[in-house]
Amino acid sequence: MVLDLIDNPEVLKSLSLQELETLAEEIHKVLIHKMSMNGGHLGPNLGIVEATIALHYVFNSPTDKFIFDVSHQSYTHKILTGRKEAYLDPEHFDDVTGYSEPKESIHDFFTMGHTSTSISMACGMAKARDLTGKSENIIAIIGDGSLSGGEAYEGLGCAAKLNSNFIIILNDNEMSISNTNGGLYTHLKELRDSKGTSENNMFKALGYEYKYLEDGHDIKSLIDIFQSIKNIDHPVVVHIHTQKGKGYKFAETDKEVWHWHPPFHIETGENIRQMTRENYDDLVADYLLKKMKSDPSVIAIAAAVPLTIGFNKERRELAGKQFIDVDICEQHLISMAAGIAKNGGKPVVATFSTFFQRAYDQISQDICINKCPVTILIRNGSIWAGNDVTHLGWFDIALLSNIPNLVFLSPTNCEEYFAMLDWSIEQSDYPVAIRIPRNGVHHISDPVDTDYSVINKSLMTQKGERIAVIAVGDFYQMGEKLVNSIKSTLGITASLINPRYVSGLDQDLLKSLQQNHEIVITLEDGILDGGYGQKVASFFGDSNIKVLNYGLKKEFLDGYNPTEVLREYGITDDNIINDIRRIMDYTH
């Protein structure tokens, strides 16, 4: 294989065009093979094999610097920069992450995973280059999906004024994650249809030189166009038209599903593992569709990841006008939801915990100051969710529970989740956030509260003495288990509390614990710093009650094993009971 020769990108420069094309075919196969076993962002990566080869052929990484937006599409880049073993040999599949990672290679500059930052970061690198008298090429590679993000536009506006080398490769594969919806795409289509000659050109309007390439998979054309702007001394946008999923027929046809795909059978494209278990995505989607049917003012809004509430293509069609996808625009998502609520609609917004980080200000200002009754569904807020360092769901409690006026609910089981959701949609006094449990779908038979308007009222599910365990959200089942262990090892019947609200304390209940409890234990599936447990510790600060807070440490982990981490953090029955013993021995 030609690929056998590629230990570093310089080797490319000695290859013939034929060899480069052969290399591209090999890489297509390698990617399909690895993803079939490992899962990954197959579609985006298949779409950019040739362009990545051409970039490394023309430029001189790492002196010339590539910044891939999001960086989920940089598998070929990794293959070409000394990391091919991680794509060829299953034993080494996990040597690389799914994103840019400086620890792996000097050809990667940032650990990243959120969209629309590449132009800004590259702009900064260009500015530093100019200030320190260097002269390398700086190239941001951004997809049309990421271009919808507000920060990309901020970066575009600023980089346009650089007066020095700055290259943006716009990888237009006509697809955000799902079908794109914004006005930007009308314009990109106009540019593509006119082969880049349209008089209306947003990039030229901003002051960029602009070039267009229709066949973004033709290596010769790619090399020619990149060569033409190498060492350019002003900002330029090179708009290349590519096809997501190119080279694998299923990925070419169903682009949304193959954006990220779990392991599959190559011949049929079928998942290796079928998802048959009950899951919250399907449950909430069906709930919402039913709600929408009976109430035309209910509207679900996603930001490019509608599957976070199970809204696949069929469901989106069923919802019609009552579903909107705003593309990768979380800030707009939130402010728009505030507007919907203000004018008589009932908005339900949903995305991953990690992506709500992009809209903190809008949640605080537009939704919370104005007390707009918006329902915010947080998916993947948990240690058990995605373990990429750039997609951790560890921070949303600390981030959002400290915003005034937000009622932040953390359900412990399925019935409670849907009771909270239904209450939230129907009420109009509070902005509400609900953290979707991530430890499987737990059912209970006891009835649950349907009214959550008495804010911050906790639920004592087991009344005991001496020790109280407050177990938040999807750590509740751990709390149940702990209480049983306390009974069997210490002979104490502990109290068990489901706080339900992480945005505030049930002061009456906590005060009442002082009568016959010595120790309060809190368990939360989020970082301790800024979290729920510390509020409880502060509440009991001037009392004799001892408080032990268990939760996640304030750190960034990558590719971790949740069970190991929980053990390391001491969130095990054994360790907690040891801590209890230590306190009790000391005081008695």
Binding positions for its own copies, 396-455, rule CB under 8 A: 398-399, 401-405
Among 68, 280, 395, 430, which residue sits at the site for its own copies (rule: CB under 8 A)? Answer: 395
Residue 449 or residue 558: which is nearer to its own copies going by CB? 558
d(CA 337, CA 372): 9
Tokens describing residue 134: 């260097």
What angle separates helix 49-58 from helix 17-38, to the nearest 10 degrees?
130
Among 187, 211, 442, 487, which residue sits at the site for its own copies (rule: CB under 8 A)? Answer: 187
CB-CB contact of 181 with 175 (8 Å): no
Asked if 257 interacts with its own copies (CB under 8 A), we say no
Binding to its own copies by CB under 8 A, coded x per residue (else -) over 5-44, reads ----------------------------------------
Instruction: State which amino acid sits at residue 463.
Output: K
Residue 261 or residue 316: which is nearer to its own copies going by CB? 316
Number of residues that bind its own copies (CB under 8 A): 125
Among 158, 318, 490, 565, which residue sits at the site for its own copies (rule: CB under 8 A)? Answer: 158
Q: How far is the CB of 582 from its own copies (least distance, A)?
A: 8
Alpha helices for 476-516 (secondary structure H): 476-490, 507-513
Scanning residues 261 to 300, which ones bind its own copies (CB under 8 A)? 296-297, 299
Asked if 177 interacts with its own copies (CB under 8 A), we say no
Residue 105 or residue 534: which is nearer to its own copies going by CB? 534
Scanning residues 527 to 586, which ones bind its own copies (CB under 8 A)? 527-531, 533-535, 537-538, 540-544, 546-549, 554-556, 579, 582-583
Residue 1 or residue 537: which is nearer to its own copies going by CB? 537
Sign of CA dihedral 513, 516, 518, 521: negative
Residue 48 or residue 333: which is nearer to its own copies going by CB? 333
Stretch that binds its own copies, among 18-26, 366-374, 466-474, 560-568 (CB under 8 A): 366-374
Binding to its own copies by CB under 8 A, coded x per residue (else -) over 463-482, reads --------------------
Q: Could you tell me which of 184, 175, 173, 121 has the C-alpha nearest to residue 149?
A: 184
Asked if 383 interacts with its own copies (CB under 8 A), we say no
Residue 44 or residue 235: which is nearer to its own copies going by CB? 235
Residue 246 or residue 435: which is nearer to its own copies going by CB? 435
Q: Could you give the C-alpha distances from 23 to 213, 322, 526, in angstroms and in order?
A: 21, 47, 45
d(CA 185, CA 552): 41
Tokens describing residue 30: 């390698």
Stretch that binds its own copies, among 10-18, 79-87, 125-133, 253-261 (CB under 8 A): 125-133
Stretch that binds its own copies, among 271-279, 422-430, 481-489, 523-531 (CB under 8 A): 523-531
Number of residues in the chain: 588
495-498 β-sheet, strand order? 459-462, 495-498, 466-471, 517-527, 546-552
Residue 123 or residue 307: which is nearer to its own copies going by CB? 123
Q: In sequence order, which residues have a C-beta less than 8 Å from that of residue 89 and are 6 or more positions away?
A: none
Residue 125 or residue 170: which is nearer to its own copies going by CB? 125
d(CA 489, CA 481): 12
Stretch that binds its own copies, among 19-27, 157-165, 279-287, 485-493 (CB under 8 A): 157-165
Asked if 114 interacts with its own copies (CB under 8 A), we say yes
d(CA 129, CA 137): 9
Asked if 169 interacts with its own copies (CB under 8 A), we say no
Among 4, 91, 321, 491, which residue sits at the site for its own copies (rule: CB under 8 A)? Answer: 321
Among 43, 47, 113, 245, which residue sits at the site for its own copies (rule: CB under 8 A)? Answer: 113
d(CA 466, CA 474): 24
CB-CB contact of 379 with 350 (8 Å): yes
Asked if 151 interacts with its own copies (CB under 8 A), we say yes
Residue 297 or residue 575: which is nearer to its own copies going by CB? 297
Stretch that binds its own copies, among 5-13, 261-269, 281-289, 358-366 (CB under 8 A): 358-366
The DSSP call for residue 558 is: S
Residue 123 or residue 213: which is nearer to its own copies going by CB? 123
* Radius of gyration in angstroms for the set of CA atoms belonging to the chain, rounded to a whole number: 26
Asked if 155 interacts with its own copies (CB under 8 A), we say yes
Asked if 239 interacts with its own copies (CB under 8 A), we say no
d(CA 70, CA 74): 9
Q: In sequence order, which residues have a C-beta less than 8 Å from that of residue 369 and are 6 or more positions away?
A: 405
Instruction: Name the strand (E) or helix (H) holding 470.
Output: strand 466-471
Question: Which runs of E-coded beta strand occur in 278-414?
Answer: 298-302, 323-325, 346-352, 375-379, 407-409
Q: Could you give the C-alpha distances from 321 to 292, 325, 343, 347, in angstroms and in order?
A: 10, 11, 16, 12
346-352 β-sheet, strand order? 323-325, 298-302, 346-352, 375-379, 432-435, 407-409
Asked if 120 interacts with its own copies (CB under 8 A), we say yes
Q: How far is the CB of 281 from its own copies (least distance, A)?
A: 24
Q: How far is the CB of 570 from its own copies (least distance, A)?
A: 12
CA 372 to chain centre: 25
Asked if 125 interacts with its own copies (CB under 8 A), we say yes
Among 102, 193, 453, 567, which residue sits at the site for its own copies (rule: CB under 8 A)? Answer: 102
d(CA 348, CA 302): 9
C-beta atoms surrounding 91 within 10 Å = 9
CB-CB contact of 322 with 291 (8 Å): no
Binding to its own copies by CB under 8 A, coded x per residue (else -) over 326-355, reads xx-x-xx-xxxxxxxxxxxx-x--------
Residue 61 or residue 331: which is nearer to its own copies going by CB? 331
Residue that the structure tokens 């104490």 belong to? 492
Residue 1 or residue 318: which is nearer to its own copies going by CB? 318
Asked if 74 interacts with its own copies (CB under 8 A), we say no
Instruction: State which amino acid sits at residue 310.
Output: G
Among 217, 358, 379, 517, which residue sits at the site for its own copies (rule: CB under 8 A)? Answer: 358
Q: How far is the CB of 166 from its own copies (least distance, A)?
A: 11
